Structure 1
Amino acid sequence: MRLLRSTDLALRVLMRLAVAGGSTPTTRDVAADMQVPYTHLAKVVAELQHMGLLDARRGRGGGLSLTEQGRTASVGAVARAFEGTGDVVDCEGGPTPCPLNSACRLRGALRRAQEAFFASLDPLTVADVSAEPTGPLLLEIARMT
Structure 2
Amino acid sequence: MRLLRSTDLALRILMRLTVVDGTSPTTRQVAGDMDVPYTHAAKVVAELQHMGLVDARRGRGGGLTLTEKGRTASVGGVVRAFEGEGDVVDCEGTGQGATACPLSAGCRLRGALRQAQQAFYAALDPVTVQDIVVEPTGPLLLTLGKAPA
**TM class by shorter-chain length?**
over 0.9
User: 1-side partners of 2:98 and 2:28: how far apart?
Assistant: 41
Higher helix share: 1
Number of residue pairs matched by the alignment: 145
User: Cα distance, 1:95 vs. partner?
Assistant: 4.4
User: 1-side partners of 2:31 and 2:91: how far apart?
Assistant: 36
Q: Alignment partner of 2:2: what SS?
A: coil
User: 2-side partners of 1:72 and 1:143: how far apart?
Assistant: 27
User: Cα distance, 1:22 vs. partner?
Assistant: 1.5
Aligned residue number for residue 22 of structure 1: 22
Which of 133, 137, 141 in structure 2 is aligned with 1:134? 137
- Is residue 2:50 matched to residue 1:63? no
Gaps of 5+ in 1: none
Which of 104, 113, 116 in structure 2 is aligned with 1:113? 116
Q: Alignment partner of 2:115: what SS?
A: helix
User: Cα distance, 1:132 vs. partner?
Assistant: 0.9
User: 1-side partners of 2:147 and 2:34: how far apart?
Assistant: 11
Q: Alignment partner of 1:142: what SS?
A: coil
* Structural mapping, 1:1-145, within 5 Å: 1-93=1-93, 94-144=97-147
AA in 1 matched with 2:27 = T
Q: Alignment partner of 2:60: what SS?
A: coil
User: 2-side partners of 1:6 and 1:53: how far apart?
Assistant: 15
Scaled by the length of structure 2, what TM-score is found? Answer: 0.94
Could you say what the CA RMSD is over the residues aligned between the two structures, in angstroms? 1.2
User: 1-side partners of 2:43 and 2:103: how far apart?
Assistant: 37
Q: Alignment partner of 2:56: what SS?
A: strand
Scaled by the length of structure 1, what TM-score is found? Answer: 0.96
Gaps of 5+ in 2: none
Q: Alignment partner of 1:56: what SS?
A: strand
AA in 2 matched with 1:101 = S
User: Cα distance, 1:96 vs. partner?
Assistant: 2.6
